């Protein structure tokens, strides 16, 4: 982060300075909301959360070195020599300051959203662009109204491109984040069932994801999934087509960046032929692409990253090198090769029906003596909860997974539907601890185990347990 002044903070937040004796030329070097990380030159935001009120930690942060604080309550006692800025809502003030700060830099910013694969998409784009540019990208999946400002504040004078992931579980959240970020490019991965319990339908999810256009700069690049039944509706939106430059990616024969001859049976990744249509020369261009990650779904982040990179005038040689250097974020189809043919796929960060089915397909295409799926509850699916869990069970049966273990009450629907589909080796447990004995017996040579559930299920602990047992 570059230094900013107290005056800039007041201008950005429209706040009231409670300590007028402090010079408005006071320098702030960093923005934080965790008092435990406070150091000299920091600005502390007293965020009010569901469980904790940041106002309880204002003075500890200031005593630890922070130069000032943004508050929505006047403090009973003030730390001498520190400034306090009063605002109606500290969380909104954080967004206002982040937006102001972002606008000090005239750099390309790529915003990424979608129901499934946002973090993978963000990571692939960052990996490719890093071959040519100094790139900052969202760390992990800090993609909400605290995480996005955190990413924007990491921009400095050396940053050439930023890749910002945007998540949501309610209408209006992407609108807020995109207007804060002012992206020059936007990528939507797909429209799925994630958070359908909050939004009511996939149509509403589609509308919520499309809020990303509300902050996209005019004539900005919009990279869309050509195989998504909802996103293709944007081709008929005359206003959006007029205001933005669309590039379509996927297996569809009309995609600008397409995938042919997809081989997802390789044990060390994915291989396909990328075709670039409607080039400036009028001639389709083809390249063989090898991705160091498994799963047919990996064509989408590769193709989208290529579209973004070409907009920034990168060569295909640079793009291919960036794809080779891709490394997934932890717990996103993280692959552990543990010797004697034993493989664990730790895909436990979160789950929805689309991503769980994609993971099962990858499991089914992995060579091994026994393919084992350990699947837990998927949350925020609302009234469709049973049907969507059952759809995963049907997929497991269709793929003839050797052993299915489910964890949690909702996941029992997966088990029940898999049994109906003909799977014989199916077991359900109420909790992860109860599954350990069975998994111990399955950790034999050639076993391939796939773990997937919503984050609240903490299934990564069970994956780690199995890893440590080998």
- φ/ψ region of 172 (left if φ > 0, alpha if ψ in -120 to 50, else beta) reads left
CATH number for 364: 3.90.190.20
pTM of the model: 0.92
Q: How many beta carbons lie within 10 A of that of residue 437, not counting itself? A: 8
Q: Are residues 263 and 342 in the same domain?
A: no
Rounded Cα distance between 335 and 313, Å, is 33
Domain boundary among 274, 295, 324: 324
Q: Let me know if residue 156 belongs to a domain.
A: yes
Q: Are residues 241 and 313 in the same domain?
A: yes
* C-alpha Rg value of the chain to the nearest Å: 24
Q: Are residues 242 and 272 in the same domain?
A: yes
Angle at the Cα of 119 (from 172 to 227), degrees rounded to 5? 80
Residue 402's domain comprises 334-469
Which parts are annotated binding residues for ATP? 114-120
CATH number for 270: 3.40.1190.10
Which parts are annotated binding residues? 114-120
Q: Are residues 249 and 130 in the same domain?
A: yes
- φ/ψ region of 44 (left if φ > 0, alpha if ψ in -120 to 50, else beta) reads beta
Q: Are residues 284 and 410 in the same domain?
A: no
Q: Let me know if residue 258 belongs to a domain.
A: yes
Q: Let me know if residue 343 belongs to a domain.
A: yes
Q: Are residues 286 and 347 in the same domain?
A: no
Q: Are residues 290 and 365 in the same domain?
A: no
Q: Are residues 137 and 18 in the same domain?
A: no
Domain boundary among 324, 355, 381: 324
Q: Are residues 49 and 182 in the same domain?
A: no
Q: Let me know if residue 329 belongs to a domain.
A: no
Angle at the Cα of 305 (from 234 to 321), degrees rounded to 5? 165
pLDDT tens across the length of the chain (470 residues): 999 999 999 999 999 999 999 999 999 999 999 999 999 999 999 999 988 999 999 999 999 999 999 999 999 999 999 999 999 999 999 999 999 999 999 999 999 999 999 999 999 999 999 999 999 999 988 999 999 999 999 999 999 999 999 999 899 999 999 999 999 999 999 999 988 998 999 999 999 999 999 999 999 999 999 999 999 999 999 999 999 999 999 999 999 999 999 999 888 899 999 999 987 777 789 999 999 999 999 999 999 999 999 999 999 999 999 999 999 888 888 999 999 999 999 999 999 999 999 999 999 999 999 999 999 999 999 999 999 999 999 999 999 999 999 999 999 999 999 999 999 999 999 999 999 999 999 999 999 999 999 999 999 999 999 999 98
Q: Let me know if residue 289 belongs to a domain.
A: yes
Q: Let me know if residue 169 belongs to a domain.
A: yes
Q: Are residues 353 and 382 in the same domain?
A: yes
Domain boundary among 289, 324, 359: 324
Name the helix (H) or strand (E) containing 398: helix 385-398
Q: What is the DSSP string of 202-216?
A: HHHHHHHHGGGGGTS
Rounded Cα distance between 347 and 339, Å, is 19
Q: Let me know if residue 98 belongs to a domain.
A: no
Rounded Cα distance between 183 and 186, Å, is 7
Q: Are residues 311 and 369 in the same domain?
A: no
Provide the number of structural domains found in the chain: 3
Q: Are residues 30 and 61 in the same domain?
A: yes
Residue 205 and residue 130 in contact, taking contact as beta carbons nearer than 8 Å? no
CATH number for 81: 3.40.1390.10
Q: Let me know if residue 100 belongs to a domain.
A: no
């Amino acid at each position: 982060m570059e230094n900013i002044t107290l005056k800039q903070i007041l201008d950005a937040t429209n706040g009231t300075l409670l300590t007028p004796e402090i010079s408005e030329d006071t320098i702030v070097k960093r923005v934080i909301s965790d008092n435990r990380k406070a150091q000299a030159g920091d600005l502390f935001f007293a965020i009010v959360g569901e469980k904790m009120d940041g106002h309880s930690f204002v003075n500890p942060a200031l005593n630890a070195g922070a130069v000032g604080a943004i508050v929505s309550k006047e403090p009973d006692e003030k730390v001498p020599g520190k400034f306090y800025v009063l605002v109606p809502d500290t969380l909104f003030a954080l967004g206002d300051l982040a937006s102001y700060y972002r606008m000090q830099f005239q750099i390309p910013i790529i915003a990424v959203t979608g129901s499934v694969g946002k973090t993978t998409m963000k990571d692939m784009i960052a990996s490719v662009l890093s071959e040519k540019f100094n790139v900052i990208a969202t760390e992990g999946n800090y993609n909400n109204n605290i995480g996005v400002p955190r990413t924007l504040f990491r921009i400095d004078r050396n940053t050439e491109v930023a890749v910002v992931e945007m998540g949501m579980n309610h209408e209006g959240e992407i609108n807020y984040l995109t207007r804060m970020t002012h992206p020059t490019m936007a990528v939507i991965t797909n429209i799925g069932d994630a958070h359908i319990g909050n939004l009511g339908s996939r149509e509403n999810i589609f509308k919520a994801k499309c809020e990303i256009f509300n902050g996209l700069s005019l004539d900005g690049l919009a990279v869309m999934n050509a195989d998504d039944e909802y996103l293709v509706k944007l081709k008929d939106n005359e206003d959006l087509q007029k205001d933005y430059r669309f590039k379509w990616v996927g297996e569809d024969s009309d995609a600008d960046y397409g995938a042919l001859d997809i081989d997802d049976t390789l044990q060390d990744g994915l291989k396909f032929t990328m075709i670039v249509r409607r080039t400036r020369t009028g001639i389709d261009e083809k390249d063989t692409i090898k991705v160091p990650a498994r799963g047919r779904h990996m064509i989408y982040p590769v193709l989208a990253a290529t579209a973004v990179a070409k907009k920034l005038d990168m060569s295909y040689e640079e793009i291919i090198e960036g794809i080779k250097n891709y490394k997934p974020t932890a717990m996103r189809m993280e692959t552990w090769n543990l010797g004697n043919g034993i493989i664990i796929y730790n895909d436990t960060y979160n789950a929805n029906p689309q991503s769980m089915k994609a993971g099962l397909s990858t499991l089914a295409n992995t060579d091994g003596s026994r393919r084992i799926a350990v699947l837990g509850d998927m949350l925020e699916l609302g009234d469709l909860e049973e049907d969507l869990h059952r759809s995963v069970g049907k997929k497991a049966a269709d793929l003839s997974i050797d052993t299915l273990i489910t964890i949690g009450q909702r996941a029992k629907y997966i088990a029940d539907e898999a049994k109906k589909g003909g799977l014989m080796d199916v077991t359900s447990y109420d909790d992860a601890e109860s599954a350990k004995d069975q998994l111990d017996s399955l950790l034999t040579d050639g076993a391939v185990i796939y773990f997937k559930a919503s984050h609240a299920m903490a299934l990564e602990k069970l994956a780690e347990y199995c890893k440590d047992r080998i």
